[in-house]
Structure 1
Amino acid sequence: MHKGFLTTAALLGCLAVALGAFGAHALKAIVTEQMLNAYETGVRYQFYHVFALALTALCIKQNPQPHFHTAGRLFITGIILFSGSLYVMTWLDAAGITGMKWIGAITPLGGLAFVAAWVFLALGFQKAHKVEN
């Protein structure tokens, strides 16, 4: 499973670079500054959590216990919900599509997934430490 998380982290990192470049060069001219800031937040949080996912994968390799697996799944879920919803809202704005404001309600769910992932990662460290001692 750790190889799956490492591969996913690498692919999501690649995607973050591409999306960041797209935002810096193409979106700047077609969306409001507010939407560009939201998009950049999505890219930034995706990057942060790509590294967290890679760390989680290395923890699983060292000690494959369930809290680490849960953390990895939650980091991926958070990226999809948090960053993904910000990307979708930006693209809808760029396309002039209105009436989809409910997508903004998805973003905090992704934030909760991130928080939960960090908690499970901490629990995994605690559990792994107890096993080692």
Structure 2
Amino acid sequence: MNKKLLITASLLGLISVVLGAFGAHGLKASISVESLQTFETGVRYQMYHALLLLFVGSSSVISQKTKQFTFYFILIGVLFFSGSIYGLATNQLTAFDFKTIAFITPIGGLLLIIAWILLFVNFVKYKVINSKIL
């Protein structure tokens, strides 16, 4: 599971850097300033959660079950949240109307929130014995 988390984190981070550069250089002349800011929000949240997955995959204080659920909530959450934001921000450039699937943006956001809650609960339940984390 840790390897899967780290590989996914690396890919999400890589894609967010590529999309960030594309937004800053390739989309600047094609979409409005407001749409560009929206696109950048998707990139930012994708990178935040790539970094979170790096932490989760590297941590020994998170249970395997929590890691597994966190992985899926973050992966699907980023796809729904950031993915739909990318589509909505570039809506005027495509033939597909991304407004028809805009309802998945808050679902993605909710999945990301649930991932953070799972981590919070894991840390609250964690016990420290003799200064060693179990």
Q: TM-score range by the shorter chain?
A: 0.7 to 0.9
For structure 2, the residue ranges without an aligned partner over 5 or more in a row are none
Mapped partners of 2:98, 2:62: distance in 1:
43
Mapped partners of 2:80, 2:87: distance in 1:
10
* Equivalent residue runs for 1:7-46 within 5 Å: 7-46=7-46
Match of 2:99 in 1: 101
| 1:47-71 deviations in Å (ceiling 9; x for gaps) | 1111111111123x55543123211
Mapped partners of 2:37, 2:23: distance in 1:
10
Worse overlay, 122-131 or 10-19: 122-131
Match of 1:57 in 2: 57
Q: What is the Cα deviation at residue 93 of structure 1? A: 1.9
Tell me the percent identity.
Answer: 38
User: TM-score scaled to structure 2, two decimals?
Assistant: 0.87
Match of 1:123 in 2: 121
Worse overlay, 118-127 or 23-32: 118-127
Mapped partners of 1:80, 1:22: distance in 2:
18
Mapped partners of 2:35, 2:8: distance in 1:
27
Residue of 86, 101, 108 corresponding to 1:110: 108
Report the secondary structure of 1:45's partner residue: helix
Runs of 4+ displaced beyond 6 Å = none
Q: What is the Cα deviation at residue 130 of structure 1? A: 6.6
Mapped partners of 2:52, 2:64: distance in 1:
17
Contact 2:73–2:111 (8 Å) recurs in 1: yes
* Equivalent residue runs for 1:82-93 within 5 Å: 82-93=81-92
For structure 1, the residue ranges without an aligned partner over 5 or more in a row are none
Contact 1:53–1:76 (8 Å) recurs in 2: no
User: TM-score scaled to structure 1, two decimals?
Assistant: 0.87
Q: What is the Cα deviation at residue 91 of structure 1? A: 3.0
Mapped partners of 1:98, 1:8: distance in 2:
28
Q: What is the Cα deviation at residue 35 of structure 1? A: 1.3
- RMSD of aligned Cα (Å): 2.0
